[in-house]
Copies of this chain bind each other. A is one copy, B any other.
Amino acid sequence: MSSFKRNVYLKTVPIPQAVETVRGALDRESLVRTQRVASHEAAGRVTAEAVYARFSSPTFHSAAMDGFAVRADDTFAAREDAAVTLQVQTARTGGPLQAGHAVAVNTGHPLPEGADAVIMIENVVAALPDSTAPQSISIEAPAFPWQHVRRIGEDIVATELLFPQGHTLTAYDVGTLLSGGIWEVRVYERIRVRIIPTGDEVLDFTARPEPGPGQVIESNSQVLATLARGLGCEVERVAPVPDVPEVIRQAVTASLDDNVHLTVICAGSSAGSKDYTRATIAALGEVLVHGIAAMPGKPSLLGLCKGRLVAGAPGYPVSSVICFEELLAPLIAWLGRGEAPRRESVTVEMTRKVPSKLGVEEFLRLSVGRVGYKYMATPLGRGAGCITTLSRAQAVTRIPANAEGLEQGQSVPAELMVSRTALERTLVCVGSHDNTLDALADELMGLDTPCRLASSHVGSMGGIMAVKNGSCHMAGVHLFDPDSGDYNMPFIRKYLPETPAVLINLAIRHQGFIVPAGNPHNIRGIEDVARQGLRFINRQRGAGTRILFDWHLKQCGLQSDAIRGYGKEEYTHMAVAANVLTGSADCGLGIRAAAKALGLDFVPLARERYDLLIPEQFMEDPRVMAVMQLLGSPAFLARIEALGGYETTLTGQVMQAGTALGEHGR
């Protein structure tokens, strides 16, 4: 359907080629100027010329210890059994040190002319006649020349090279510059960046808007602005510009006129009918790159207008970050002669297979923690639209363009987005999600030694498998076994026969029907759903919630075909709630929190045990011990109760076969 009015991508190119193309086209010598700045404020700046010392440091021979300045020659005869006595000459006379004399000095004091050694005060064995202002001192060991003396130029020699050009100055370097008498340095100017959000549907976050249908809070511009500031750029973010080609062009022209080095147009870089970024760049200059062989980030645009760099960042948040970090950050560093930031690399083991598209480099965000002796990595959502995948990630791995994906158990290099310290303090929880885990996550970070909960939501059975594979510290599980009436334990016995593990209750939670606000169909139980032929939305096969629903169906003597929509499946409580909210379904089974999140009503149907399954070997792990400590804290139990839809009568207790719901039964 090529006759629709659409842009066409240039050939997508690998990231290094895209960067190289721009480097080849930009004349950075004329684009980025140099300037003189005060040395004491120059940390983080890049030198534009060699810096040579003006002064030596020290500028004089000085005492490196408290004690007495002497002529080493005078002390050579001193022995333990043959002390040498030196007359004390006052420093105030200022003259040269006379032979056979000594002058009291403190650390840093200049040595009198003729002195070439300092004897530490601790090694002066007697002072006569008055020890607080002695007229002579006695020593029992010789001083070697220049002993305890900081000699002129020891640190810096006047005229020596302090820094070459192209050097990024550190805090230490500020000390070196000042010590060398350099009050100003010539550096490259900061790279000036302007970020222009676009879109008819976007709302300016500075107005603190309440989004209506079809409206989106624009935040990419601020993410990119923050990243650019982190690189030392001078950044201006302007208010969003509507999808009107003339207006976008005006905004870019103003940026070029304001001597901005890099203008970033947010969104509109793709090939849709309302994507005007490419046309804007083409009208004002030249498009160099349109489309990179990367995912997310494909619809990135790079162009040159009036000798300046103009970029189009994709509209999806993760795409725009990758456009910035992979294309713009290296170009900013190159323009400013700095170094592009690079993350520490670690080897991680994949907990899951991840297929990937050939010919495209994929940036896969990972939830990572050290489990046993390995860094175990679970992929986070791969969609470009989820900024939270970047917030939640501990690392990112690149699936190469020539790979068809990653295998479960494969070791791959990953770039750390948190420190190794943070990684050591990360508790990995894989399994079913529950809101009490959020409360737990918050409390863990409030401990004296904070601990970060990284939880991946793959359902209860996924959690049991993660424990089996050694890829997590604990799993959240709520699996009801209709045959025994017990929770979790029968599944653990079946699937983990050889993994010693402990089952701890986190909470008893309520499941029920999520229904539209006001419960218009007046649902009070499963029979109501069947009788009225209401549209139900189900959970996926194997989900604890579906097993629970099936059991209740059976209790009511109903078959699955009695429920309209039984075959329609969703993977999360929230997705079920969203179906109800949008009218795609009349009801679904889920937890109270999901209903609450979307302003829906909740009809309790059942209580169930939500437990933490923890391999025995980790029970002594400080991260797991922190969890156990919280589960015994009345304040934490109160917090769970306050959520609504939970009971804490079993919380923190070790579950045995048959514990079921405790005294409350089911």
Contacts and interface: CB of A to CB of B under 8 A. Distances in A.
Contacts of A584: 116
Interface centre among A1, A227, A452, A594 (most CB of B within 10 A): A1
Contacts of A126: 1
A214 interface: yes
Nearest to A133: B4
A495 interface: no
A460 interface: no
A307 interface: no
A202 to B, nearest CB: 9
B386 A444 contact: no
Given A153-B578, A597-B158, A106 B272 contact: yes
A216 B438 CA distance: 56
Interface in A336-365: 337, 339-340, 342, 344
B445 A165 contact: yes
Interface string A126-166: 11000110000000000001000011111111111111111
Nearest to A577: B153
Interface stretch (A117-125, A245-253, A555-563): A117-125
Contacts of A636: none
A172 B421 contact: no
Nearest to A64: B385
Interface in A218-240: 219-220, 222-223, 226-227, 229-230
Contact of A178 (B219, B452, B598): B219
Contacts of A121: 1, 4, 6
A321 B176 CA distance: 13
Question: On chain A, which size bracket covers the interface?
Answer: 35 or more
B445 A166 contact: yes
B108 A211 contact: no
Contacts of A273: 66, 106
Contact of A217 (B50, B55, B342, B344): B55
Interface centre among A156, A162, A174, A227 (most CB of B within 10 A): A174
A161 B217 contact: no
B342 A150 contact: no
A208 interface: yes
B205 A183 contact: yes
A476 interface: no
A107 B298 CA distance: 14
A435 B161 CA distance: 8
A179 B217 contact: yes
Interface in A584-601: 584, 593-594, 596-598
B60 A151 contact: no
Contacts of A438: 50, 160-161
Contacts of A417: 170
Nearest to A131: B3
A520 interface: no
A244 interface: no
Interface centre among A6, A61, A109, A597 (most CB of B within 10 A): A597
A439 B49 CA distance: 11
A73 to B, nearest CB: 11
A10 interface: no
B56 A442 contact: no
A43 interface: yes
A605 to B, nearest CB: 21
Interface in A169-205: 170-176, 178-179, 181, 183, 199, 201, 205
Contacts of A40: 205-206, 219, 222
A515 to B, nearest CB: 17
A211 B4 contact: no
Interface in A14-53: 40, 43, 50
A397 interface: no
A165 B446 contact: yes
A578 B174 CA distance: 25
Given A108-B315, A132-B5, A211 B55 contact: yes
A145 to B, nearest CB: 8
A331 to B, nearest CB: 14
Contacts of A171: 223, 226-227, 230
Given A1-B126, A157-B574, A176-B390, 12 more contacts: A4-B121, A66-B273, A109-B214, A152-B578, A152-B598, A153-B574, A160-B435, A164-B443, A167-B445, A170-B390, A175-B222, A181-B210
Please name the 10 residue pairs, one residue from A and one from B, whose CB atoms are nearest each other, closest first.
Answer: A161-B438, A178-B219, A171-B226, A172-B390, A166-B445, A164-B445, A164-B442, A3-B131, A175-B223, A50-B442
